[in-house]
Amino acid sequence: MYKFRCFILLIVSLFSFGVLANNETSYLVGTEHEDIITKILFDSVSKKNNIKFEYIEFDNFSEALEAVERGYVDFLSNVTYTQERTKDLDFSLPIGIEYIYIFTIGKADIDNISILAVPENTTIKSTIAEGFPDLEFIEYRNIDDAIAMLNSHQVDGVVDGMNQLEKMMLSGFDAYLFNDHVSLYPVSVVTPKGKNQDLLGLIEDHAHTPSFQKLSRESVDNYQLSVRKQALRKQVIQSGLDVREPIKIKLENMVLFANYQFDGSVDGIAAEILFQACNVLQLDCQLVSQADESWASMYTSLVDHSIDVLSPLAITDKRKELFFFSDGYYSPEAILAKRKNYKDGVYHSISEMFIEKIGVIEGNFLASLLNEMLPEKKFVYYKTQNDLLNGLLTNEVDYIAIIRATFNHKLRYSKNILPIVEDKDVGAFYSYELGFGFQKNEKGRILSDLFSKAINLINVETIIKKYDFPPDWYTTIQSQKKISRNTIVRFLFIISILVCVVFVFHRRSITDELTRLRNRLALYKKYGNQFPKRKVLVYLDINKFKQINDCYGHNVGDKVLKQLSTNIKRFWKGEAYRIGGDEFVLVASVDAQRAQKMLDNIRQFTFYNSITETELLVSVSMGMVNDLEKNLPLDDALNLADQSMYESKHRFRTTNRN
């Protein structure tokens, strides 16, 4: 400890000498290694306000905290509020939630972890202990000690912040965000007691601006992604793979999943995810299939090890005996399509369709699946999706087995309205996962593991939405207008559109756009003259909603309002109105006891935002009016409920202060 104080005094002395030499006011900010969140904040404040900050790096949080408590440095960020710390420190309002990771050897399963290493002199230990009382904890002073504990199996996992993410992942450990498992307290910026008050307030205000919150989130996301990519690429090098050897790929020419273009490129869900994964891994992936190659030929190529990867490939237990698989990236639904009006309402399951002519693609997973479901059935086989569809249109078959997303794509891009429909009575007869298939050998095992990890670093959802979406009504209407030129039909169509427009505008005028509940206008339209004495009226708003907006931004505030409205829709069996801001009015024809029971499910909830890693406990104050002696003007009923709600809010504030 003596050496530490001497070291700090030396640094501060050298720093002060530099400041005097430059005749410029500057402030010391304590950081840990790779503490990017602190640097993002203070660099942003510096840029906007022309204030100079200098960073001094500490080996661990304990030393950094002691340095600011003793006044050796001016600011420290990511500090959790405790009453004891207020003796030596002044705290800003919360500026965010600290990112906490659990580092393990191999995949983490919190249920199988008995001993956990945590940094000393932090609140992490007590926070985790609340949710996992059976865990045993060992404290460490620096991350090198924690690594030694993990490698020697003295502990099952190590918990630390984002500043250790790069070092731990590049050391070969797996990292999992732990925020989802515990309720972490928000963190603040601190300064020595009684010092830098004005600047602390300026930093706090800047941290709460939407522009900084967006900058912080994007910077953190980019940093995490960059670190994970570095770690994964290091695993590729250490895996023993010959990265100079091309990875041979075959993709089935299948609508939505792999669409071969005239210039030789391929797009689609499977193609984009696969090639993005190759880019993440920095592997030389070469497409060796052709657009007209059959599925059966591609399948055989993987079986005899002529290629390394095949996709899209359904993941099944039977196929796992032949191939290694990546994690699934998409779950399609298999349906039966038929000609319009053909045997409507006749069948309710595939097992009843033994007399029908059903078309399938040769070697396709759906073909083998239907063979199992109808073992004595003879199917009509086609080589491609286009051949399959033409077989249905030309009456060669009565039904075709097809993925719903592929079927929707065919309808969406057809120049004419196709006289085919999904058999809704049978519905989706199977749902399965698609993945990448690899050779059943050591190389295939390594590739399957690496590609699974790469998929987790890709925005798969965005790629899927790019290709998989249902036909839109506008395209359908335009196709119908080309087929029918009848004046009466067009006139009725226009009238229908006008009616719809009027209806839509009316609904929008009485609907709150954010929550989709009815608005103040709708409330007064229905009860403006008088409120019935037989009904219950509830007035409610969110406690400390302004602080939520100030601390986390209006984007988070809007999401909190949406979640509250979702809870209202789910549990309140009556009418619901958002009359402004965070104020809501509920009406129902129930007794007070029944109303209270419904409100119990609404008055408090936990809000979690996966994008910003924000978790809040949100409470609601409520006031209720029921058993009125007579019908009252709506404003009088609202005033009575508002008075009742004010008493509820007063009780909340009193309890909160205590």
pLDDT tens string 395-412: 999 999 888 888 887 887
Burial class (CB in 10 A: 0-12, 13-18, 19+), 160: buried
pLDDT of residue 478: 52
pLDDT of residue 14: 46
DSSP letter for each residue of 599-645: HHTTSEEEEEETTTTEEEEEEEEEEEE-S-SS-B-HHHHHHHHHHHH
pLDDT of residue 155: 92
- H or E element in which residue 27 lies: strand 26-32
- 3-state class (DSSP) for residue 98: coil
Q: State which residues of the chain have pLDDT below 70.
A: 1-24, 470-489, 655-658
- 3-state class (DSSP) for residue 330: strand
Buried b (16+ CB within 10 A) or exposed e, 77-96: bbbbbeeebeebbbbbbbbb
Instruction: State if pTM tops 0.75.
Output: no
Q: Which two tokens stand for residue 466?
A: 């790019």
pLDDT of residue 243: 85
Distance CA 615, CA 98 (A): 11
Name residues whose C-beta falls within 8 Å of residue 162's C-beta, 6 or more positions apart in sequence. 34, 36, 37, 98, 99, 101, 220, 223, 224
User: Is residue 265 within 8 Å of 251, Cβ to Cβ?
Assistant: no
User: Is residue 311 within 8 Å of 270, Cβ to Cβ?
Assistant: yes
- H or E element in which residue 402 lies: strand 399-403
Q: Which two tokens stand for residue 83?
A: 């009453």
- H or E element in which residue 56 lies: strand 52-58
pLDDT of residue 21: 44
pLDDT of residue 139: 92
